[in-house]
């Protein structure tokens, strides 16, 4: 899944938590790696360290039980 932290929280709540899922595995993808594999350049997308911080600070607090 992708999107802003708010969009990700909404998707998790709607598609997983509401269905009874109580464990998720997350994998953060670095746009530079994907861009190099696809031979494209992404603009205005945070890199791996920034994405980890977003998940920790903006997503996890909303889904912790």
Q: Which pLDDT score is estimated for 25?
A: 86
Instruction: Quote the tokens at residue 29.
Output: 């993808």
The tens place of each residue's pLDDT in the chain, 65 residues long, gives 888 999 999 999 999 988 998 888 888 888 888 899 999 998 888 888 999 999 999 999 988 75
Nearest to 47 by CA among 39, 61, 36, 62: 36
Q: Where are the domains of the chain?
A: 5-63
Q: Which pLDDT score is estimated for 26?
A: 81
Nearest to 44 by CA among 4, 6, 7: 4
């Amino acid at each position: 899944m992708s999107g802003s932290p708010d969009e990700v929280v909404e998707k998790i709540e709607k598609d997983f938590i509401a269905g009874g899922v109580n464990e998720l595995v997350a994998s953060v993808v670095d746009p530079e790696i994907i861009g190099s594999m696809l031979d494209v350049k992404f603009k205005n997308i945070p890199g791996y360290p920034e994405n980890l911080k977003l998940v920790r600070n903006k997503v996890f607090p909303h889904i912790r039980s």
